[in-house]
Structure 1
Amino acid sequence: MGLLTFLLYTLLILMILGFYFFRSSKEFPKTWYEWKTEFRFQYMGILGLIQDISLNKKNNVAILQQTDRIAIVTGGNRGIGLRIIEKLLECEMTVIMACRDPEGGRKNILEAVDFSTIRGKLICEKLDVASLSSVKEFAKKIQDNYEKIDLLINNAGIMCAPYKLTEDGYESHFAVNFLGHFLLTHLLLPKLKAAGKKGLNARIVNVSSIVNMVGKINYDDINLTKKYYPPTAYNQSKLAQVLTTKYINHLMEKEEAPVQVHAVHPGLVDTDLFKYTSTTSVPTFKKLLFKTPEEGSRTVVYAAIGRKLEGKGGTYLTNCVHARCHPDAKKPEKCEKFFKFSCDLLGIKEFGNGVV
């Protein structure tokens, strides 16, 4: 058997296992559209596993002492977010954990992190990125109480959830994974600009996914009311993050502002992000194949503090190396179109002025 034939057979077997054990839903697809979407979703999952295995030795980040820096992490009360916060606290930063349940989040952090060996300061604040009013309230509190913000890590997210519209009328994946964070970035950008300085830019990190590669922005039906399948919504939201990462970084470079923006695929990580998928029925497989939350946090933290990335924003990373993302991200006109579309949705006239 030739190498190519062996690889094709291996891919086929992985696809079959994927459809059976790692579907995006506990139910099987019902229509050709759903089967096609599921196939693409599974294919990207396999590529992600291959990346995680082949680049495992690259997936490391050095903890750097940065006592005077302030970081915001959304959704940091569990999973990857919790381990991101742990690493930033090890850097002796002040870390603001922004989540829906601050007290529960604080409890989780205190149980998971040994504060006897950590000098960083933890602050817990309420933020529901699904609610635009909550985003505005949180941003106002930050604007009023902090002169600067050095790092904004847009980490909170959902995956393959049943169809739901938020209180603002947006499909939940689009709202949670993208739109709420886009608004937060706009509102806090003046504080990020105030923090950045020559040789040490402020940074924005958008936690995206490898599935951005098969995402598509449905401009005519952004809420996917006509044809909804969970991976379609998830893929769209993750592509949205990558497109705006590229364009906002372009704006920062054009302004010569001391801020850089990165998008990150943390890898396939064993967290409750998969709670709506069929993987919950095979927890042993998930533990064997997927990264731990600590391993998944490394590329995010690398994007936030890695010295080799200084002045090199607009990049998409996985396993602490540069990676290929959606072709549209290389087309400035595509990035600008979606950026302006997003600003119009939120009524933003001048992006980054901190006002809506």
Structure 2
Amino acid sequence: MLLILLLLSLLVVLFILYYGRSSKRMPRNWREFTIELKYQYYGGMGFLADVLMKFKNHEDLVLKPGKVAIVTGGNRGIGFEVVKKLLLCDMTVVLGVRNPEIVKKTFEDICKAEQRKGKVVIETCDTAKMESVENFAKKVQERFSEIHVLINNAGVMCTPYSKTKDGFESQMAINHLGHFLLTHLLMPQLKAGGLKNDSQNVRILNVSSCVHKAAKMDYDDFHMEKFYYPVDSYNKSKLAQVYFTQHLDELCRMSHLNIQVHSIHPGIVHTDLFQNCSSGYFPWIQKLFYKTAEQGSRTIVHAAMSPKLEGHGGTYLSNCRIAKATRNQNESRKLFEYSCEILHVKDFMK
């Protein structure tokens, strides 16, 4: 009986590795194999949580006329659904995307068709390029003196190895470093938003993933020049967002700022984020079992809006509730300081 159970377990593992692995190629060595197993385990736990918590995955939509939200990567998938909901809340949403012209008409049509009172401002922002991030921040600063919600959403997953113009590994740059720099540059406006906001703290949201639990930061090979396995980089970039959240929230509390920071796992969602995974060959499986983009947007919107979260910064949210994340005060401070160093940020809280 035990032998049969072991054989069945092995078959399940092999099935998952073949049809649901993070890369379109099989792991080539033991290190890649163990990384893949950890990814599958935490991803599986995340999927199970989505199923069990399905009826609690509901956001609070609160009218916020006159409030300003910044969203990166809101032109498709989860981010697109987030922006639509913020517009329902009568907010002004500044959207940072790589190709603004493609997106503008889409949101103009949405606002007209659904008679939404919210406004959309669309600017160029590519979080892979620090110069683009700086230019985007300048345009935001020129137009708005206060920001009330910052959603660091743009991201990629399991892409082939490449380095950005700035010399950073691309997944870490897009998912973490670009957002780290953007948050730093917009701190004056975020602080100003907190000074005049007497009902709710300004909120900074970093989109992460349940698979951050499979990662460990490696500062000796931060840009993965010695060893690269796509999902390993993705996991680390999402862990970086969790650590960034924890340390920044601590700094905000120590500085007595009306700002709170959250990291968010949207769920296992059917979007083109999985295009580099083997499951991309079988999109009907994703469509059948994964969350929709609208369902994936709910925890992000909940984190941005819910009065129930007031004063509960530094937390990790999944299915519209506070969940358990990797937590390490020393590691979060180390990652924060290292990010400042390689981005040449002297005073993050300026």
Instruction: Settle same-fold status: TM greater than 0.5.
Output: yes
Q: Cα distance, 1:15 vs. partner?
A: 3.4
Greater shift, 37-46 or 153-162, is seen at 37-46
Asked if structure 2 preserves the Cα contact closer than 8 Å seen for 1:159 and 1:231, the reply is yes
Question: Taking structure 1 as reference, are residues 113 and 141 closer, same or farther at Cα in structure 2, changes over 3 Å only?
Answer: closer
What amino acid is the match of 1:317?
Answer: L
Aligned-pair identity (%):
45
- Unpaired runs of 5+ residues, structure 2, are none
What does residue 63 of structure 1 align with? 61
Q: Distance in 2 between matches of 1:346 and 1:11?
A: 46
Asked if structure 2 preserves the Cα contact closer than 8 Å seen for 1:159 and 1:234, the reply is yes
What does residue 341 of structure 2 align with? 344
SS in 2 for 1:275: helix
Asked if structure 1 preserves the Cα contact closer than 8 Å seen for 2:21 and 2:40, the reply is yes
Q: Cα distance, 1:25 vs. partner?
A: 1.2
Question: Taking structure 1 as reference, are residues 111 and 26 closer, same or farther at Cα in structure 2, changes over 3 Å only?
Answer: farther
What does residue 155 of structure 1 align with? 153
**Deviation readout 1:162-221 (Å, 9 max, x if unpaired):** 000000000001100000000000000110111113431110000000011011111011
**Deviation readout 1:238-262 (Å, 9 max, x if unpaired):** 0000001000000000011011000
Q: Cα distance, 1:18 vs. partner?
A: 2.0
**Residues 1:82 and 2:80 aligned together:** yes
**Residues 1:283 and 2:283 aligned together:** yes
- Unpaired runs of 5+ residues, structure 1, are none
**Deviation readout 1:24-80 (Å, 9 max, x if unpaired):** 111111111111111111111111110100011110012111111100100000000
**Residues 1:243 and 2:240 aligned together:** no
What does residue 332 of structure 2 align with? 335
What does residue 314 of structure 2 align with? 314
What amino acid is the match of 2:175?
Answer: N
Question: Taking structure 1 as reference, are residues 40 and 92 closer, same or farther at Cα in structure 2, changes over 3 Å only?
Answer: same
**Deviation readout 1:105-132 (Å, 9 max, x if unpaired):** 2244356666433111111110001000
Question: Taking structure 1 as reference, are residues 19 and 184 closer, same or farther at Cα in structure 2, changes over 3 Å only?
Answer: same
What does residue 167 of structure 2 align with? 169
What amino acid is the match of 1:227?
Answer: F
Question: Taking structure 1 as reference, are residues 340 and 121 closer, same or farther at Cα in structure 2, changes over 3 Å only?
Answer: same
1:185 to 173, 183, 186: 183
SS in 1 for 2:261: strand
Q: Distance in 2 between matches of 1:9 and 1:108?
A: 51
Asked if structure 2 preserves the Cα contact closer than 8 Å seen for 1:73 and 1:152, the reply is yes
What amino acid is the match of 1:18?
Answer: I
Question: Taking structure 1 as reference, are residues 232 and 97 closer, same or farther at Cα in structure 2, changes over 3 Å only?
Answer: same
Q: Distance in 1 between matches of 2:55 and 2:301?
A: 16
SS in 1 for 2:227: coil
What does residue 298 of structure 2 align with? 298
Q: Distance in 2 between matches of 1:339 and 1:251?
A: 11
Q: Distance in 2 between matches of 1:210 and 1:149?
A: 28
1:129-144 to 2 correspondence within 5 Å?
129-144=127-142
Greater shift, 29-38 or 122-131, is seen at 29-38
Q: Distance in 2 between matches of 1:314 and 1:68?
A: 26
**Residues 1:24 and 2:22 aligned together:** yes
Q: What is the root-mean-square deviation of aligned Cα atoms in Å?
A: 1.9
Asked if structure 2 preserves the Cα contact closer than 8 Å seen for 1:178 and 1:238, the reply is yes
Q: Distance in 1 between matches of 2:52 and 2:225?
A: 39
SS in 1 for 2:217: coil
SS in 1 for 2:181: helix
1:189-228 to 2 correspondence within 5 Å?
189-196=187-194, 197-228=197-228
Q: Distance in 1 between matches of 2:9 and 2:301?
A: 32
Question: Alignment length, in residue pairs?
Answer: 347
Q: Distance in 2 between matches of 1:270 and 1:114?
A: 28
TM-score, normalised via structure 2 length: 0.95
Asked if structure 2 preserves the Cα contact closer than 8 Å seen for 1:204 and 1:260, the reply is yes
TM-score, normalised via structure 1 length: 0.93
Asked if structure 1 preserves the Cα contact closer than 8 Å seen for 2:60 and 2:301, the reply is no
What does residue 271 of structure 1 align with? 271
